[in-house]
Structure 1
Amino acid sequence: MLSASLAWKLFWRDWKSGELRVLIFALWVAIGGLTAVTLLVDRIDRGMTKEAAQVLGADRIVSGPRPIKPEIKAYALSQGLTVSDLLWFSSVAVAGSEFELATVRAVDDAFPLAGDLAIADKPFTEGTATQGAPKSGEVWLSSRLLALLKIEVGGSLQIGVSQFKVAGVITQEPGGSSFFNFSPTILMNLADVPATKIVQPGSRLNYRLAISGDENSLQNFDQWVKDQLDNSERLIGAASGAPQIGSALGKAKNYLNLSGILGLILGGIAIAIAANRYATRHFDHSALLRCMGLRKNQVVITFCLVLLLAGLLGSLLGGITGYFINELLIQSLSDLLPEQVPPPRVASFLINLATGLTVLLGFALPALIRIRSVQPMRILRRDLTPMSMSGWMTVVIAIVTLAVILYWYANNWTLVLSVILGGCLLVAVCLGCSLVLLSLAKRLAQKRSISMRFGIEHLRRHKGASLIQITAFGLTLTLIATIFLMRNELIADWQAQLPEEAPNHFMVNIRPEEVAALNEQFEQLSIKASHVFPMVRGRVVALNEQDPKDYLGENSRGHNSLRRELNLTWASEFPEANTLLSGEWQMAPAENPVISIEQEMAERLNLTLGDSMTFNIAGDEITATIESIRKVEWDSFQPNFYVIFNDQALQKFPSTYITSFYLSPDRKLVLNDLVQAFPTVSIIELDLILSEVRKVLDKASLAVEVVLIFVVLAGLAVLFATTRATLDEKLYESALLKTLGANRAFVRKTTLVEYWLLGLLAGILAAIASEGLAFVLYEYVFKMTPQWHWWLWLGAPLAGMLLVVPAGGLGNRKVFSLPPITLLNEH
């Protein structure tokens, strides 16, 4: 009780005197930025995921070759979720003398649960938004299928043994666009399926249960249903159902999580510096309390309670500020953000409050332990400064605190370890390089003005404090530079993978004799198309002349390529949207086949250059040696392959060809010409997926821009706390200099020289560390090609000086203005 009462009095006194304001301000900025970032990340992430579900047609899809278990649908309904029954199968559609293989989607009246279904009266025109299934006895057809069957709306076609009236044309369909959907589409009423008598024992069917609803219910469903699915069933979400959107969302979430993590680290650094200054200034108070009879533990508990009160105040202020900033951003950016941005979750505030207190105690613990060690004798001998904790112990406490909190937020050990190792690398570089740089600075300043020599010599005399400042400034600049690099490279990567004229149509099932005519047709119609690739189907049957199960052991199921047939191709030219990682691209015709394989496939199958793979193609086996390994941009909307053979290696096998091309919306009728010229070719329209990916990328880019602002603000808090940490020493030294005859201009100039040099050294170190940290993040987190940033080596030192020098000048205004007698009386 005594500790609580005393702690309140100390807190109130320190608040009025300004002792706690720096610490509370640092915590306020850290938690305010963290709250705004986490709320923004969470709400935009949930909003973008919800919006991306429009491509899938629902929030979740349970898919399998047999009817979905009734208990799954019952549980979904019990959770308040909306459901829709779907059945997909392939069938030949017949109209008069014309027939065509089509993908039939039988739907109920709840279809679609997400996205827009549009039906028109004529092909390739703008349709009317529609909800539900066609009337019984009627069907809706894709525009291509009308042209292939040579019928019009109002005509009839046969599916199975039943006749149906063509009641409309599908111009937009959620869940219908897919890279693997090679056949044109028919939408029919689910109730009409039995009459077709297509569903027979042994039929290849895809039963689907579409599910949509609120987030909590969906999460409960996800957890429950995983144990209910067998090996043939899948639970599909927006990311897995639309891989291109999933890739964009994944990179955006990683960046936003990284931004929140780095902002939190900056806040922790500011708190550690402010807490250390607070403890140092209270050594005398601790000694006085010991003289009045308090034991060591009571003193520590008292000051812990003081910091706890400060932490609660700072965290509450930060949480409230972050909430209002987040709401302001959501309102001001409403036109650019997802259409439905979910409300903030109460749990986020509680987590951020707990985070603020954890960061405060974790980073302030070394300083509090020093307070515990203050001896009562310090009342008479002020030189009895308590020993600080072991440097290793301080580092361990800081790293453990960071690791726990960072994993709590990011849930990604790779991201957390990358950040921590990068920070440790910077600290190590600072300790090793700062002394060298300070020594070089002294030599360069020997013939300079006395104020410059004095400022540099002051840094050398106080090496410990200088190293702390360089480390703090360097970490701040490193984290800001890393976020800036990630922002630029991530947006550039998105723009590169999805240019304005990215392919939005695929053509498959092209016969070899049609390739030349198709290229000629593309040229006549001024259509921009990618390379036309041959394609055969083959299954992996051996790795290095061993059965895959024997070669990989328990990991034989680690890659989907072992469970299905692969699309194989051959080429002499290096494909677009690929990067050669190792080996050589020597794909000329040869007696012994060679292959180039995709990077992740090589890693999962434990293959490297010189290893061999054996494929079964149409009953024949062919063995090839791995000549090169490629990185493939799967979300580039280009034809891509896991395995590419050397030129003509598979020419003896029956093959079809595949290509992709861009067609602007106002030229959609050109598809009719292509269908008429090549009636056996299938055209896959990807406009819906492409449109949704662009929307997700635009909104993710905006979130990236906003988050960068908070990281910079957190960095400024570190600069402010660092300059305040050395304020007492500078006040005393400036008083001595003024007493000895130095004028105000000299004191100002020597102080600014110190910060000029600190900013320069911190910028150099930040350039080194941010390049290393960015390399790790590019390679292992964002899966991007690392790049060298020459401008960083000029920009980081310049930014260091532009940030540190003004911060030092503002933080030391009292040093310049107060008369020496006042300063000496205070000290």
Structure 2
Amino acid sequence: MWVKLAFKLFSREFRRGELSIIFAAIALAVLTVFSLASVTERIGLNIEQKTADFIAADRRLSSNHEFEPIVQKTAEEFGLETAEMLFFDSMLFANDELVLGSVKAVSSAYPLKGQVELKDNLEGQSYPIRGAPEPGTLWLSEGLFYSMGLKVGDTVELGAGEFTVAKVLMSEPDAPLFSLAGNKRVLLNYVDIARTQAVQPGSRVFHRLLFAGSEQALTDYYAWLKPQLKPNQSWQGIKDRQSPLGENLARAERFLLLAGLFGIMLAAVAMAVSAKRYCERQYDPVAMMKTLGGSRATVRKIFLTHLTLVTLFSIVIGLVIGSMLQSVAADYLANFMDTTLPEAGLKPWLLAVFIGLVCALMFSLKPLLDLFDIPPLRVLRRNLGDSLALSKVHIGVSILTIFVLMWLFSGQIITTLVLFASTLLVIGVLFGISRLIFAAGRKLGLRPGSSWSLAIATLQKRANTNAVQLITFALAIKLMLFLVVLKNDMISDWQMQVPEDAPNMFLINIAEDEISPIKQYFDENQITHEAFFPVFNARVNAVNGEEFARRVSKQEGEEEDDNARQGVNREPNLTWLDEVPEGNEIVEGEWFSGSERLEVSVFDGWKERLDLKLGDEIEFLINEQKFTATVTSFRTVDWGTLKPNFVMILSPNFAGKIPVTYFSAAKLEAQHTKGISKLLQQYPTISMIDIKNRIQQAQSMISQVSLAIGFVLMIVLFSGALVLISQVQASLAERMQEVVILRTLGAKGSLIKLATLYEFLLLGAIAGVVAALVSDIALLVIQQQLFGVDGRLHPYIWVLGPLAGASFVAFIGYFMVAKTMRQNTQKLLRSLA
């Protein structure tokens, strides 16, 4: 019996629009979460894929000794693609020239991600391919062609083997950003290693395995591999790589995460408000049902059925609209960026459905319980049940639910807490302001016949309702201001780290007597360049006389000394400088004092790694010479600038103690290619490293994130408009009554219209002021904690917030009630009846 009644009432209320508010709210939550999660995931996957090109794989395993055969065999059993690599140095001989080259032997599957850039000859055009040199052939970098006087087709001796020079090697996806190997690089087929006879037991070689496959397969494989990893073996992805690309990828993900959280918050607020409004509008029908003999159990079953049906319908509709919306947005972004975005996984679908169900349950539970307790006597006394309108339990449950949903979506407690706390601050401030302003409405000396007087009197009359409206308006404005600052300021700050005039190539291995002619060449050709830095390799040998553990050879069966102090497994590039370089900041200690003792400034990331403190004495081993320097400062280093940086910088009094080479950076245009080639031919010891691909990759990330945030901003604007519409729609009946009374008392139509417009202008302006101030405070924290940059205020949003709030709320609010005000009094009375 009750089932038939439930479906009959559901059909009638759905046609009448009684369920439209809660239906739109759940659908809004679902489509917002789904579209945002899908677009941000697809862009994030695209960024990760492009960034993975720069390690030539999804993951890589590095070691200074040969891998056990089972490592690669098991990877293939997990469905992963693999490629082998071996690095070693060897002499090349041709045309009576002997040059030391950096050799990378690769299997035929290389690269698993990205492409190798080749030229058929020095004058030809470069083109991308995937693959390795044919057995018996080599691909050589341009520097080797110039220094050895080679051309394609010549024969070169590498170790004990003879090979044909087949191609000019322009770039490799996993080439080091800054390496003293420079452009003396050789690509060799893996099967030809034995032919060179350069790799013998005890040789200084470096092994690497590349892996590509699904994230699940990689995760499962690593779970198998991890217990078997040796201390000198490392498993890495792009996020593990201390490089500008790793830093930029992490920053891009934080931008997308922050943008997605805004959509979650606004959708949840819309649902909470709408569920409460819907249940309040059912108080009279429930009272009537109980008067006619309906039991509390029957009422509960009917409205739970309604909630279930509207939840299912709204989730389906939300997923359909969200799917179309994200498809259109993704296609637009893909066309704009001239790329193909990978498809999102199941996470957006599951997340959207879960949040839709949670919103429907948690935000509707307390209002429904209140609805079931409405007494039958409300038929006679309409004020019965109104005391339930502002339930502290419902508010508490709603706030807790929003926090949990945000935490679930982000997975980061600090980010969630910052945004959540700023939201609570907005709510608290606005509720206090609304009570003060609206309660003081009668004391403002208002005069009859004034539209402003009528507007403020109306605000005062609906103090509680307007307080809730103010909060929801302010949240929407706050999220919009957040996104505006993200897109206009923080993205711009990020982009400024890779300015258009940034250097796109390094020149290294420059002798001191070659600096002057190179400077002259740059000046004559109007090439922008950086200073010339001295550079050398050094081993960090000891701290305060305590030596670090010696690197041992697993190949020879040596075991590490577990009691020895652990250092670093590489010899970093060092320099000496007079001033703190750009992109570095002293965080502890002071720059060099100018004393006669040798001093050193250390990258802050190595402070804990080497267990250092100010005043420690670091011993460096350079060739066979030992030098001791005192730690005077620790520096932060912005690796995301795509400029070379140093983990340790010595004081200027180190100059002249050891022989060094120099390096510089320059911005080269296409017309400089031939000239720089002649320069390298004239000075064959100089090596050039091209980083244009790295800069393009960073700019591509920034463009994608900026577009994604623009898309999120549109979603938030749309969501904010729907929240505002639901708020105004819920008060339409009360506004119709006011219009009838005012007209009966002789008020003119223009007075009523202006009063309504002023009411929404005041609400929007007040909400905008508070949203702007609180947003700027929260942005200060986010800039410092989430993005690691100096926080600063944004005064322009203090003006933008009130103006945007007043305009946005007034336009939509007035548009919603304009139809009501155009109706004549007789029609309004019939509608109310």
User: Normalized against structure 2, the TM-score is what?
Assistant: 0.89
1:557-593 CA-partner distances (Å, limit 9, x unpaired): 9x99856544443323342234566777x54623466
Which residue type is aligned with residue 142 of structure 2? S
> 1:705 aligned to 706, 710, 718, which one?
710
Q: Is the Cα contact below 8 Å between 1:596 and 1:643 reproduced in 2?
A: yes
> 1:617 aligned to 615, 620, 640, which one?
620
Quick one: distance in 2 between partners of 1:383 and 1:140? Answer: 87
- SS of 2:84's equivalent? strand
Deviation at 1:278, TM superposition (A): 0.8
Q: Is the Cα contact below 8 Å between 2:110 and 2:132 reproduced in 1?
A: yes
> 1:570 aligned to 573, 576, 579, which one?
576
Match for residue 506 of structure 1?
506
Match for residue 52 of structure 1?
51
> 1:714 aligned to 695, 702, 719, which one?
719
Which residue type is aligned with residue 141 of structure 1? L
Which residue type is aligned with residue 114 of structure 1? K
Match for residue 87 of structure 1?
86
Q: Is the Cα contact below 8 Å between 1:85 and 1:209 reproduced in 2?
A: yes
Match for residue 173 of structure 1?
172
Match for residue 30 of structure 1?
29
Deviation at 1:717, TM superposition (A): 1.4
Q: Tell me, yes or no, if structure 1 residue 16 matches structure 2 residue 15.
A: yes
Q: Is the Cα contact below 8 Å between 1:760 and 1:798 reproduced in 2?
A: yes
Which residue type is aligned with residue 766 of structure 2? L
Deviation at 1:36, TM superposition (A): 1.8
Match for residue 182 of structure 1?
181
Range 412-421 or range 65-74, more displaced: 65-74
- SS of 1:345's equivalent? coil
Q: Tell me, yes or no, if structure 1 residue 756 matches structure 2 residue 755.
A: no
Q: Tell me, yes or no, if structure 1 residue 767 matches structure 2 residue 772.
A: yes
Quick one: distance in 2 between partners of 1:510 and 1:219? Answer: 44
Q: Taking structure 1 as reference, are residues 238 and 563 closer, same or farther at Cα in structure 2, changes over 3 Å only?
A: closer
Q: Is the Cα contact below 8 Å between 1:537 and 1:617 reproduced in 2?
A: no
Which residue type is aligned with residue 254 of structure 1? R
Q: Taking structure 1 as reference, are residues 302 and 593 closer, same or farther at Cα in structure 2, changes over 3 Å only?
A: farther
- SS of 2:28's equivalent? helix
Quick one: distance in 2 between partners of 1:612 and 1:670? Answer: 48
1:277-328 CA-partner distances (Å, limit 9, x unpaired): 1111112233344456666566445433322322221221111011112222
Deviation at 1:809, TM superposition (A): 0.7
Quick one: distance in 1 between partners of 2:568 and 2:827? Answer: 80
Q: Is the Cα contact below 8 Å between 1:56 and 1:238 reproduced in 2?
A: yes
Quick one: distance in 2 between partners of 1:647 and 1:442? Answer: 75
Quick one: distance in 1 between partners of 2:441 and 2:595? Answer: 62
Q: Tell me, yes or no, if structure 1 residue 804 matches structure 2 residue 809.
A: yes
Q: Taking structure 1 as reference, are residues 663 and 4 closer, same or farther at Cα in structure 2, changes over 3 Å only?
A: farther
Q: Is the Cα contact below 8 Å between 1:274 and 1:721 reproduced in 2?
A: yes
- SS of 1:336's equivalent? helix
Which residue type is aligned with residue 471 of structure 1? I
Which residue type is aligned with residue 627 of structure 2? D
Which residue type is aligned with residue 669 of structure 1? K
Match for residue 348 of structure 2?
348
Deviation at 1:533, TM superposition (A): 2.7
- SS of 1:788's equivalent? coil
Match for residue 248 of structure 1?
248
1:395-423 CA-partner distances (Å, limit 9, x unpaired): 43223322322233222223222221121
Range 182-191 or range 116-125, more displaced: 116-125
Q: Taking structure 1 as reference, are residues 548 and 57 closer, same or farther at Cα in structure 2, changes over 3 Å only?
A: closer
Q: Is the Cα contact below 8 Å between 1:62 and 1:68 reproduced in 2?
A: no
Which residue type is aligned with residue 132 of structure 1? G
Range 135-144 or range 160-169, more displaced: 160-169
Which residue type is aligned with residue 791 of structure 2? P
Match for residue 553 of structure 1?
none
Quick one: distance in 1 between partners of 2:796 and 2:311? Answer: 40
Q: Is the Cα contact below 8 Å between 1:579 and 1:632 reproduced in 2?
A: yes
Quick one: distance in 2 between partners of 1:6 and 1:687? Answer: 70
- SS of 1:507's equivalent? strand
Match for residue 162 of structure 1?
161
Q: Is the Cα contact below 8 Å between 1:124 and 1:171 reproduced in 2?
A: no
Deviation at 1:383, TM superposition (A): 1.7
User: Normalized against structure 1, the TM-score is what?
Assistant: 0.89
Q: Is the Cα contact below 8 Å between 1:118 and 1:128 reproduced in 2?
A: yes
Match for residue 374 of structure 2?
374
Match for residue 468 of structure 2?
468
Deviation at 1:758, TM superposition (A): 0.5
Deviation at 1:653, TM superposition (A): 5.2
Q: Taking structure 1 as reference, are residues 547 and 108 closer, same or farther at Cα in structure 2, changes over 3 Å only?
A: closer
Which residue type is aligned with residue 160 of structure 2? V
- SS of 2:653's equivalent? coil
Q: Is the Cα contact below 8 Å between 2:540 and 2:620 reproduced in 1?
A: no
Match for residue 793 of structure 2?
788
1:674-712 CA-partner distances (Å, limit 9, x unpaired): 434544333222233233333333333322322221121
Quick one: distance in 1 between partners of 2:652 and 2:46? Answer: 46
Range 644-653 or range 126-135, more displaced: 644-653
Match for residue 336 of structure 2?
336
Q: Is the Cα contact below 8 Å between 2:180 and 2:509 reproduced in 1?
A: no
Quick one: distance in 2 between partners of 1:200 and 1:757? Answer: 82
Quick one: distance in 1 between partners of 2:643 and 2:445? Answer: 58
Q: Is the Cα contact below 8 Å between 1:154 and 1:167 reproduced in 2?
A: yes
> 1:723 aligned to 709, 728, 732, which one?
728
Quick one: distance in 1 between partners of 2:105 and 2:597? Answer: 48
Quick one: distance in 2 between partners of 1:715 and 1:227? Answer: 51
Q: Tell me, yes or no, if structure 1 residue 661 matches structure 2 residue 666.
A: yes
Q: Is the Cα contact below 8 Å between 1:541 and 1:616 reproduced in 2?
A: yes
1:516-556 CA-partner distances (Å, limit 9, x unpaired): 4543443234322223233455566788999999xxxxxx9
Instruction: State how 1:396-407 maps to structure 2 within 5 Å.
Output: 396-407=396-407
Match for residue 309 of structure 1?
309
- SS of 2:792's equivalent? coil
Instruction: State how 1:493-532 maps to structure 2 within 5 Å.
Output: 493-512=493-512, 514-532=514-532
Match for residue 269 of structure 2?
269
Q: Is the Cα contact below 8 Å between 2:334 and 2:340 reproduced in 1?
A: no
Instruction: State how 1:201-350 maps to structure 2 within 5 Å.
Output: 201-214=201-214, 216-240=216-240, 243-291=243-291, 296=296, 299-300=299-300, 302-337=302-337, 339-350=339-350
Q: Tell me, yes or no, if structure 1 residue 590 matches structure 2 residue 595.
A: yes
Q: Is the Cα contact below 8 Å between 2:367 and 2:394 reproduced in 1?
A: no
Q: Is the Cα contact below 8 Å between 1:373 and 1:387 reproduced in 2?
A: no
Quick one: distance in 1 between partners of 2:805 and 2:601? Answer: 46
- SS of 2:256's equivalent? helix
Deviation at 1:781, TM superposition (A): 1.6
- SS of 1:531's equivalent? coil
Range 139-148 or range 22-31, more displaced: 22-31
Q: Is the Cα contact below 8 Å between 2:600 and 2:630 reproduced in 1?
A: no
- SS of 1:431's equivalent? helix
Q: Taking structure 1 as reference, are residues 561 and 806 closer, same or farther at Cα in structure 2, changes over 3 Å only?
A: farther
Q: Taking structure 1 as reference, are residues 78 and 562 closer, same or farther at Cα in structure 2, changes over 3 Å only?
A: closer
Quick one: distance in 1 between partners of 2:764 and 2:609? Answer: 46
Deviation at 1:346, TM superposition (A): 4.3
Deviation at 1:142, TM superposition (A): 0.5
Instruction: State how 1:439-478 maps to structure 2 within 5 Å.
Output: 446=446, 450-478=450-478
Quick one: distance in 2 between partners of 1:445 and 1:70? Answer: 89
Deviation at 1:607, TM superposition (A): 8.0
Q: Is the Cα contact below 8 Å between 2:567 and 2:609 reproduced in 1?
A: no
Range 732-741 or range 217-226, more displaced: 217-226
Quick one: distance in 1 between partners of 2:4 and 2:610? Answer: 66
Range 310-319 or range 361-370, more displaced: 361-370
Quick one: distance in 2 between partners of 1:440 and 1:588? Answer: 64
1:339-371 CA-partner distances (Å, limit 9, x unpaired): 332234345323312211212322333322322
Range 104-113 or range 207-216, more displaced: 207-216
Q: Taking structure 1 as reference, are residues 499 and 316 closer, same or farther at Cα in structure 2, changes over 3 Å only?
A: same
Range 704-713 or range 289-298, more displaced: 289-298
* Unaligned 5+ runs, structure 2: 550-561
Q: Between Structure 1 and Structure 2, how many residues are aligned?
A: 814
Range 202-211 or range 762-771, more displaced: 202-211
- SS of 1:617's equivalent? strand
Deviation at 1:218, TM superposition (A): 4.2
